[in-house]
C-alpha cells in the first residue's frame, strides 16, 4: 500500500467514528405489526422475507451475519432474503465480493439510512460499540472463524443493526397496502449482538438449515 493509499484509508477509518447526522427514528416494528412500506425496499407478496440491516461494511459481526444469511438463501428457496447496507454502493459491492458473494440474497443500499430509521434502527452509543465484551467477542470471532475487521471504506460504526422476519401477504387488504406482518424482530443491543436467524425462520414456520459450526484454528506458536 502506498503512503497516499494508507493516508486515505486512515482518513476513512477516522470518518467512520464520527457521529452521523441525526434522523427521526420510528419505533421498531414488533411481531404482529405491519411491515413498514418504502419504495426502496419492496417485499415480495408471495413468499416470506428475512431482512437483515447490517452494521457498516468491514465490520466482522456484519460479515458473520451476512455469511449466515447467504448460506440460508441457498438452502431455503421458498424464503426471500434481504441485506440492507448503509455503506456506499461501491464499498458494499467490494465488500460483498470479499466476503464470498451475495448468493441468493438481495442487497439493498440505504446510504441515507432512511430504511434503518423507518425500521427503528437509530444511532448507537459508545458503550454499544466499544464495551469490553464487544472487543473480546471481536477477537474471538477472528480466532475461531477467521473473521477479522476489514477496512471501513464507507458508513458509520454508530449505526445500530437489526433483523426482521415478515410473513407472506395473507389477504387482499395486506396486498393492497403492500406488506405483510412482522412475525419476528431483533434490534442489536450491542455491536456483537447477532440475530438468531434460525429463530427468524422458525417464526415463519420453517426449520433452518444452518451452516456447520467452524472448527477453531490451532493456536500458533511463538510471538505474534
Q: Which pLDDT tens digit goes with each residue over 144-171?
A: 999 999 988 899 999 999 999 999 987 6
- Give this prediction's pTM: 0.87
Higher model confidence: residue 89 or residue 16?
89
Residue 217 above 70 pLDDT? no
Residues 36-45: tens digit of each pLDDT: 999 999 999 8
Q: Where are the alpha helices (DSSP H) in the chain?
A: 3-16, 60-75, 89-98, 114-118, 126-130, 132-145, 172-177, 197-203
- For the chain, the first-to-last Cα distance in angstroms comes to 22
C-alpha cell, 162: 437489526
What pLDDT is attached to residue 224? 29
d(Cα 67, Cα 13) in Å, to the nearest integer? Answer: 23
Q: Is 53 helix (H, G, I), strand (E, B) or coil?
A: strand
How far CA 1 is from CA of 12, 13, 15, 98, in Å, comes to: 15, 16, 20, 18
Where residue 9 falls among pLDDT bands split at 50, 70, 90? very low
d(Cα 187, Cα 116) in Å, to the nearest integer? Answer: 11
pLDDT (mean) for 21-38? 94
pLDDT (mean) for 204-217? 81
d(Cα 129, Cα 199) in Å, to the nearest integer? Answer: 24
C-alpha cell, 77: 428457496
What pLDDT is attached to residue 74? 96
Cβ atoms 191, 55 nearer than 8 A: yes
Give the domain ranges of the chain: 27-34+43-200
What pLDDT is attached to residue 19? 75
Mean pLDDT of the chain: 88
Query: Which listed CATH number (1.10.357.10, 3.40.1160.10, 3.30.450.20, 3.40.30.10) goes with 27-34+43-200?
Result: 3.40.30.10
CB neighbour burial string for 202-214, b if at least 16 within 10 angstroms, e if fewer: ebbebebeeeeee
What pLDDT is attached to residue 13? 57
Residue 173 above 70 pLDDT? no
C-alpha cell, 98: 470479499
Amino acid at each position: 500500500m502506498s503512503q497516499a493509499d494508507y493516508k486515505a484509508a486512515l482518513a476513512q477509518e477516522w470518518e467512520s467514528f464520527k457521529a452521523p447526522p441525526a434522523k427521526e427514528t420510528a419505533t421498531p416494528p414488533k411481531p404482529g405489526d405491519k411491515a413498514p412500506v418504502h419504495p426502496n425496499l419492496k417485499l415480495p407478496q408471495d413468499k416470506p422475507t428475512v431482512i437483515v440491516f447490517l452494521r457498516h461494511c468491514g465490520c466482522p459481526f456484519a460479515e458473520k451475519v451476512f455469511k449466515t444469511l447467504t448460506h440460508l438463501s441457498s438452502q431455503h428457496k421458498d424464503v426471500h432474503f434481504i441485506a440492507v447496507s448503509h455503506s456506499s454502493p461501491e464499498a458494499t459491492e467490494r465488500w460483498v465480493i470479499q466476503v464470498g458473494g451475495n448468493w441468493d440474497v438481495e442487497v439493498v443500499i440505504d446510504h441515507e439510512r432512511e430504511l434503518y430509521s423507518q425500521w427503528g434502527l437509530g444511532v448507537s452509543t459508545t458503550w454499544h460499540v466499544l464495551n469490553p465484551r464487544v472487543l473480546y467477542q471481536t477477537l474471538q470471532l477472528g480466532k475461531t472463524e477467521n473473521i477479522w475487521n476489514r477496512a471501513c471504506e464507507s458508513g458509520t460504526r454508530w449505526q445500530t443493526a437489526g433483523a426482521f422476519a415478515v410473513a407472506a401477504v395473507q389477504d387482499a387488504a395486506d396486498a393492497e397496502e403492500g406488506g405483510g406482518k412482522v412475525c419476528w424482530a431483533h434490534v442489536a443491543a450491542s455491536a456483537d449482538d447477532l440475530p438468531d436467524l434460525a429463530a427468524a425462520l422458525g417464526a415463519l414456520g420453517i426449520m433452518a438449515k444452518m451452516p456447520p459450526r467452524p472448527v477453531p484454528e490451532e493456536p500458533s506458536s511463538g510471538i505474534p
